[in-house]
Structure 1
C-alpha cells in the first residue's frame, strides 16, 4: 500500500511538471479540437412543466424535474413513465426552486441540496430517507438554473458525504474586510448518515483573494471535483484562472499543485477597497457588468473539462455597459463576445477547445463517461415532448 501511494505521488509530480511546461507552449502548437458526438437520445412525451430539466441518470432510470416547482419525473431508459411525485408545501422533504440538481448516492437514491431547506435524500419513488436542516442560514441567493453540478456525493473511508459550498457559510462579520477572507473556509462536508458537518479549505497561499482587498461573492465561489480513484480534489474559484490540485487521501486535503490556466479572454479581478462592496453581495453590474467567470469544472476521463465566460476585450465597451449607455448593437456584440466556452485541459497541460451542439441555456451534465444535454427549444408553441441526448467527446 505504501509503495503504491509513493508511486502515485511521483506520477502526479511528473504530470504537474508536464502541465506547467505544456501550458506555456499552447500558443505555439496547433492543437486538435473536440466535438460532442451524440451516442443516443431518449424522448419523453406529454409533459406539462414550466421549466423541464434533466437531472440524473443511471442504468435503469432517467430523472427530470420542473425547476420552477417540486415536481419530479422518473422514466425508464426507453422514455416510459415510471413515477411522478412532488414535494411542495408543508410536507416532509419539501424543497424549493432554490434547490440544486439531484445527485445520486451509491444506492441510487436522489440527493438534493436546497439552500433554504437543507439536504434531502429520496428513494426514486419519492419516499424521504433523510431530511437535514440547512447548515447555515443564507444572506444571499445567486446563480441561474444550470445542469452544472454545484455539489457532489463522495465516498471516503467507507462513508458517504455531500461535498458542497454556500454563498455564506459563517455568521456575518461585524466588518467585511480582507481579514474575513483570510479566515474563510470555502467547502462544506456533511456526513449523509449522521448529518455531522464541518467547513474546511481556506484560500491557498498566493490566491488573489488574499491580496488585501475584498471581493464580491460571485468572484470566489468555488467549483470543484473530487476524483475518488486518485483521491485528488480539483478546485477553482470562479474569478481566478488557477487550478488548485489537492491530495485528499488523508483527513484533510493537502495542496499539491497550483496551475495558472491561459483561458482566452479571461480577466481576473483585483478586488475592491474595504467598504466598496457590502457583505454577501453576489455581483454588481454597475462595477463590473461582464466579469470573467469559471462556471464548471469536471473530470472527464483522464482530463478536465472547464466551462467559463470571458470578459469583453475593449474596456471602453465595458464602461458603456456599466453606465447603461451601451447601444442595442453594442450589447449584441458583447453578448456574442462573452458567450460561454468549454475547453478540455489535457493531462499534458494542453487547453483544447470543445465544439458543442446547440443546447438549452442550462448547459450539460457529466455522468461517468457520458455528457447529457437537452436541445434548446426554439418554437413559440408550448412544448410537451422533450428529448435528452447522451454523447461523448471525440477528437476532430
Structure 2
C-alpha cells in the first residue's frame, strides 16, 4: 500500500542527492480526502529514490510536539518540506511550522535535534478546530511558510514568507469591490516580502533581511559555492536571468536587517 503522502512540485525544491540516491518530498496522490488530525500521524514527509532501480523508500513522520500533532486541521501543502543534506544530516522544516529538524541521513534516520529560528514578524496558521476552517487554503496562502533551507559553510540560510499579521489577514477577508481588493493586494505585496534568515548551526540568529537583488527562495549551493537567481525587472521583458555568486563573511553577518 502506498504511504499516506501528498505530492507537490516546486521549482528549486525537488531533490537532494546523497550517494546513489535522491531525497525528495512526497509523492503520492492528493486526491485523498483530508481526513484531519487522525491521519497526520501516518503521513511520510520525505522519500528516497534509487534512480537505477526505481525503488522508493518513505520515511519521516511528524515528530512528537510538532505543530501538526496539535489536534487541528490543516490545508494540503501546509507541511510541504524544505530540506537540504550536509555533513551526514538532513535539515528539514515542515512547511508552515517554524522549526528546523535535524535527522541522521542514514537509516533509521534518527531525529538528532531541533531548534526554532527567530524569524522576524512570522505569522503562521496554527490549524482549525474543524475541517471547514482548518482546510481553508486562504490561511495557507497568506500565512507564513518556510520555503527553502541551505547549509553553506558553517551557516544556515532559511528563505521564508513572514505571513500577514492578524489585522491584515482580517482586512483581506472583508467583502470589497474588485478595484478595492486589487489595491489592497498591491499594498500587501509591497508590505510583505520574502526574507532570508541567516544563523549558525546552533540556531542563533546572525541576520534576517529582505534581499534587494536576488530572490530569497532561489538560493542554492553548487560545488561549495553559494548562488542565487536575480530579481526580475517587471518593467523590462528579458530573455535571460541573472545568477549571483554570494558569500557570507562572519564579521559582517551579524545584525543584518
Q: Give TM class, smaller chain.
A: 0.7 to 0.9
Find the counterpart in structure 1 of residue 13 from structure 2.
Answer: 149
Q: For the residues of structure 1 that align with 2:85 and 2:131, how far apart are their CA atoms?
A: 35
> Take 2:212 and 2:56, find their aligned partners in 1: how far apart are those partners?
40
Looking at structure 2, the residues matched to 289 and 360 of structure 1 have their Cα atoms a distance apart, in angstroms, of 19
CA contact (8 A) 2:150 2:220 kept: no
Determine the structure 1 residue equivalent to 2:194.
Answer: 340
Deviation of the 1:257 alpha carbon: 1.1
Secondary structure in structure 2 of the residue aligned to 1:256: strand
Cα offsets for 1:125-148 (capped at 9, x unmatched): xxxxxxxxxx99x987565xx4x3
| RMSD, matched Cα | 3.0
Q: Equivalents in 2 of 1:369, 1:261: separation in Å?
A: 24
Match of 1:45 in 2: none
Mapped to 2, the partners of 1:174 and 1:336 lie a distance apart of 35
Is contact 1:243–1:261 with CA below 8 Å preserved after alignment?
Answer: yes
* Residue of structure 2 equivalent to 1:30: none
Q: In the alignment, does 2:171 pair up with 1:320?
A: yes
> Which residue does the alignment assign to 1:271?
127
Look up the SS of the partner of 2:214 in the other structure. coil
Cα 1:327–1:355 shift into 2, 3 Å:
closer
Are the counterparts in 1 of residues 149 and 159 from structure 2 also a CA contact under 8 Å?
Answer: yes
Deviation at 1:277, TM superposition (A): 6.5
d(CA) in 2 for partners of 1:344, 1:174:
37
> How far apart, in 2, do the equivalents of 1:309 and 1:353 lie?
12
User: Structure 1 265/196 Cα, relative in aligned 2: closer, same or farther at 3 Å?
Assistant: same
Q: Residues of 2 paired with 1:265 and 1:220: CA distance? A: 20
Contact 1:289 1:322 in 2 (8 A): no
Residue of structure 1 equivalent to 2:71: 212
CA contact (8 A) 1:149 1:365 kept: no
Deviation at 1:256, TM superposition (A): 1.4
Q: Contact between 1:162 and 1:190, CA under 8 Å: does it hold in 2?
A: yes
Query: What's the CA shift for 1:350?
Result: 2.0
Residues 256 and 154 of structure 1, relative CA distance in 2, 3 Å threshold: same
Name the CA shift for 1:164/1:202 in 2 (closer, same or farther; >3 Å): same
Give the Cα–Cα distance (whole angstroms) in 2 for the partners of residues 341 and 261 of structure 1: 13
Cα distance in 2 for partners of 1:236, 1:346 equals 16
* Structure with bigger gyration radius: 1
Please state which structure has a larger fraction of its residues in strand. Answer: 1
Shift of 1:324: 4.7
Contact 1:223-1:235 within 8 A present in 2 as well: yes
Rounded to whole Å, the distance in 1 between the matches of 2:47 and 2:201 is: 28
Q: What TM-score results when the alignment is normalised by the length of structure 2?
A: 0.81
- Select the structure with the greater relative contact order (CA < 8 A; seq sep ≥ 6): 1
- Contact kept in structure 1, 2:160 and 2:196, CA below 8 Å: yes
The 8 Å contact of residues 310 and 339 in structure 1, kept in 2 or not, is answered as yes
Q: Number of residue pairs matched?
A: 244
Aligned-pair distance for 1:252? Answer: 1.7
Rounded Cα–Cα distance in structure 2 between residues aligned with 1:172 and 1:266: 30
The corresponding residue for 2:21 is 161
Give the distance between the partners of 2:28 and 2:221, measured in 1 at CA: 27
Matches of 2:241 and 2:117, distance apart in 1? 37
2:37 paired residue number: 178
Deviation of 1:180 (Å): 1.2
Q: CA deviation at 1:198?
A: 1.4
Deviations 1:1-43 (A, max 9, x none): xxxxxxxxxxxxxxxxxxxxxxxxxxxxxxxxxxxxxxxxxxx
1:362–1:243 distance in 2 versus 1, CA, 3 Å = closer
TM-score for both structures, normalised by structure 1:
0.55
CA shift, 1:170, in A, is 5.5
